[in-house]
Structure 1
Amino acid sequence: MLSVRIGFSPLNDAALVVLAEALGFYSAEGLDVSLSREANWSNIRDKLSYGLLDAAHVLATLPLARGLWLGPAIGHIIAPMALGANGNSVVISSKLKEVFEGLGASTLLESARALRLVIQHRRAVSEGKVTLAIPFNYSPHHFVLRHWLAAGGIDPDRQVQWVVLPPSRMADHLRDGVIDGFCSGSPWPQMAELNGNGVVLFSDPAFWTLKPEKVLALRGVWAEEHPEAAVALTRALLRAGQWAMDPSHADELALILSREAYVRAPLEAIQAALAPGGAGLILDPQTATFPWISHAKWFIGQFVRWGLTEGIHDFDAIARRVYRPDLWRQAAAPLGLSLPFEDEKDEGGADAPWMLPAAPDPVLMPPNTLFDGGVFRVRRA
């Protein structure tokens, strides 16, 4: 068996990575996997860079940041699959939630406008800026919060203070008044709410019903040296997704995630995040694991929008060098999954289930909408 070192962050959306170990899917694919529970995304990025990890559960933006020459420029990273969709929540202080309710803010757009009024009031009475925590600068969490703030007329660079914290520490900082809110992966937002340290304002599905969040990252050199293992690893995770989609496995899934070696969080918080109305995590290998080039381009567009890179790159080439639908198809075909005909799709604009052209059968996809009605369209010849 080939030995493979895989890093992960203790979050519910690492489910496929830990399930594949707990249920023996790695060994069934001829892989001897050792998992490494990491404290933060910088650790994972750096260990991938220096060859201390072969693969990892990472932010969907992390391999793209490498492709844009942001952060350490050592080694190429590819992403042969997504590890599901959704899974994050935004938590705010109870005091801030009371202000929103007093202003009648009941939608995401209304809450962003209400926050603008809070910011204006604080400035008028010489109070500090609203402070929001994220787990990594180049993260979907950061882009979600910026998009939401901007929709309410807030300048995320001038009117908000940003701090980077490990998700497991965010609730304590919220309780102590150091921050006003945070965005992180579950189950940490649900744990904060259960402990009375804050209130969940919204979760990923309210922002984007089928939001990309984490991917499987492979060190490029390792994937080139072990092409069959790269496909086998992807297939093991797809098999874990097939298992996770069985409703009868819901209780076992939560129990596995709560183990000391994995997420190491109270079962109640994990279950709250996985339950309907929670963080909306989707693990379906058919509808939520394809590495869409359109997802990569949307994220690259956010890097440009927020001044993190300049619009001088060949974004299509970067997206296709990093996201690898070809490897997903190789891994998925033997499992009987349908293979999408295209590598891109419109993001947003589908407020009802829709059919994705694929072989051998079309795929019934969930709704795909953004809260502000925006649509990121694929350019077709």
Structure 2
Amino acid sequence: MVTDVKIAYSPLNDAALVLVAEALGFYDSEGLNVTLSREANWSNIRDKLAYGLIDAAHILAPVPFAAALGLGPSMGRIIAPMALGANGNAVVVSHDLKAKLSDDDSLHTPLMSSARLLAREVERRRKAGEGRLVFAVPFTWSPHHFVLRHWAASAGLDPERQLQWVVLPPSRMADMLKDGVVDGFCSGSPWPQTAHLMGRGQLLFADPDYWSLKPEKVLGVRAAWAEDNPYATISLVRALLRAALWANRPANRDDLMRILARHVYVNAPQEAISLALSQGGAGYTLDPETATFPWISHAKWFMGQLVRWGWVEPDHDFDHLARHIYRPDLWRQAASGLGLNAPEADEKDEGGHSEPWVLPASPAPIIMPANRLFDGGVFRCR
């Protein structure tokens, strides 16, 4: 029996698993007839999920929580049975601002240092009677927005009062930077790298500089569809985990870049895609064991950011909501036949690991990459 599935995605490198699964026939071999829909912005994807126009999507991890907490349309619950990798974003600023945020001529500036220089520039502009610095993000309730706010706040800035925020599609951000409409932006790759290669701005930092194993996108599935199609839901997750196994192999890197660069997929210069995926790039991690598990601790961190920045009140049962949306049980079912090790717990400390470490898992432990936040913070659910 073949199940029809409509899946939306944004043209970004971190849609790789969704795209590879189609390109290599993993959906077909799992009994799924998948129709992909490339969308111009995250609002389209959110609304199509909410109104049942699609069944699943490559989506910003905070969006299902924002919807459940009353931020935007909520016509039905969205579950997340897996993450679609880790990292993948970068921050680009104007040439002028980059010079002011740098102590030397290096491409990357340590975040604490650049945050202090940002605060100095904000104060200079205030004294000179100039307008606030403007930063673009692809969606209000997005990891991109959380990263920039946390970075600015680490130097004592109030991101709400002392900076200005605009929402733009990632593909338009480079033009807005070139035209002086914004001073910087954070978006998914390969658009920051495209802006850099076109000379429209300079890379300031990438996700791994902020959080070495930062959660970003998830597979969002309409809960009603998943309940009506339990076997197809597991098949969908399994197809994407198979895509991760393939994409994570170094021997397949060139083929992965060619797939992403296709006109019908990301449709960006292969040079920009390569720069983002290269060592020292945006750090996009596809390893299925270390970057696709839907951690309850990630869910709570995202909801904590919604509270931190004043978008929701703290009087919610966040543990219940996290487990209502993130579904590690479905990940474990899908992974069981693929030879993957499954974490024994659903939560872990986020941050605090500056070196690789051992995660208890079954049937064998998982060697996890470093899990470090730039300011040394550790997020604990307990």
The interval holding the TM-score normalised by the smaller chain is: over 0.9
**Equivalent residue in structure 2 for 1:221, among 218, 221, 224:** 224
Q: Partners in 2 of 1:50 and 1:38 — Cα distance?
A: 15
Identity value in percent:
64
CA contact (8 A) 2:109 2:204 kept: no
Q: Partners in 2 of 1:157 and 1:278 — Cα distance?
A: 29
| Matching of residues 154-193 of structure 1 within 5 Å | 154-193=157-196
CA contact (8 A) 1:103 1:114 kept: no
What is the DSSP-based 3-state SS (H/G/I as helix, E as strand, rest coil) of the residue aligned with 1:334?
coil
Q: Partners in 2 of 1:378 and 1:126 — Cα distance?
A: 43
CA contact (8 A) 2:8 2:36 kept: yes
CA contact (8 A) 2:109 2:205 kept: no
Residue identity in the other structure for 1:30: G
Q: Partners in 1 of 2:331 and 2:206 — Cα distance?
A: 28
CA contact (8 A) 2:212 2:373 kept: yes
Q: Partners in 1 of 2:102 and 2:83 — Cα distance?
A: 36
Residue identity in the other structure for 2:74: A
Structure 2 residue aligned with 1:261: 264
Structure 2 residue aligned with 1:305: 308
Q: Partners in 1 of 2:54 and 2:348 — Cα distance?
A: 32
CA contact (8 A) 1:68 1:318 kept: no
Residue identity in the other structure for 1:17: V
Q: Partners in 1 of 2:381 and 2:126 — Cα distance?
A: 41
Structure 2 residue aligned with 1:202: 205
Note the C-alpha offset of 1:378: 3.1
Structure 2 residue aligned with 1:29: 30
Residue identity in the other structure for 1:361: A
Note the C-alpha offset of 1:117: 0.8
| Matching of residues 207-356 of structure 1 within 5 Å | 207-356=210-359
CA contact (8 A) 1:67 1:322 kept: no
Structure 1 residue aligned with 2:138: 135
**Equivalent residue in structure 2 for 1:146, among 127, 143, 149:** 149
TM-superposition CA deviations, 1:269-300 (whole Å, max 9, x none): 00110111110000111110000000000011
Q: Partners in 1 of 2:232 and 2:148 — Cα distance?
A: 37
Q: Partners in 1 of 2:114 and 2:325 — Cα distance?
A: 35
| Residue-pair matches, total | 379
CA contact (8 A) 2:103 2:109 kept: no
Q: Partners in 1 of 2:100 and 2:322 — Cα distance?
A: 41
Residue identity in the other structure for 1:139: S
Structure 2 residue aligned with 1:81: 82
Residue identity in the other structure for 2:310: G
CA contact (8 A) 1:8 1:58 kept: yes
| Matching of residues 32-71 of structure 1 within 5 Å | 32-71=33-72
Two-structure CA RMSD over aligned residues (Å): 1.0
Note the C-alpha offset of 1:96: 0.8
- Shift in CA distance, 177/277, structure 1 to aligned 2, threshold 3 Å: same
Q: Partners in 2 of 1:294 and 1:194 — Cα distance?
A: 36
Structure 1 residue aligned with 2:93: 92
Residue identity in the other structure for 1:170: M
What is the DSSP-based 3-state SS (H/G/I as helix, E as strand, rest coil) of the residue aligned with 1:335?
coil
Note the C-alpha offset of 1:66: 1.6
CA contact (8 A) 1:135 1:184 kept: yes
Residue identity in the other structure for 2:86: A
Structure 1 residue aligned with 2:128: 125
Q: Partners in 2 of 1:334 and 1:113 — Cα distance?
A: 49
1:116 aligns with 2:119: yes
Q: Partners in 1 of 2:335 and 2:70 — Cα distance?
A: 31
TM-superposition CA deviations, 1:169-191 (whole Å, max 9, x none): 00001011110000000000000
Note the C-alpha offset of 1:103: 8.2
Residue identity in the other structure for 2:36: L
Note the C-alpha offset of 1:32: 0.3
What is the DSSP-based 3-state SS (H/G/I as helix, E as strand, rest coil) of the residue aligned with 1:283?
coil
Note the C-alpha offset of 1:240: 0.1
CA contact (8 A) 2:352 2:376 kept: yes
What is the DSSP-based 3-state SS (H/G/I as helix, E as strand, rest coil) of the residue aligned with 2:180?
coil
Note the C-alpha offset of 1:102: 5.0
What is the DSSP-based 3-state SS (H/G/I as helix, E as strand, rest coil) of the residue aligned with 1:211?
coil
TM-superposition CA deviations, 1:234-273 (whole Å, max 9, x none): 0000000000011110000000000011000011100110
Segments of 5+ residues of structure 1 without an aligned counterpart are none
What is the DSSP-based 3-state SS (H/G/I as helix, E as strand, rest coil) of the residue aligned with 2:171?
helix
Provide the TM-score with structure 2 as the length reference: 0.98
Segments of 5+ residues of structure 2 without an aligned counterpart are none
Runs of 4+ deviating beyond 6 Å? none
Q: Partners in 1 of 2:102 and 2:32 — Cα distance?
A: 52
TM-superposition CA deviations, 1:29-65 (whole Å, max 9, x none): 0000010000000000000111110000000111111
Provide the TM-score with structure 1 as the length reference: 0.98
Bigger shift: residues 25-34 or 60-69: 60-69
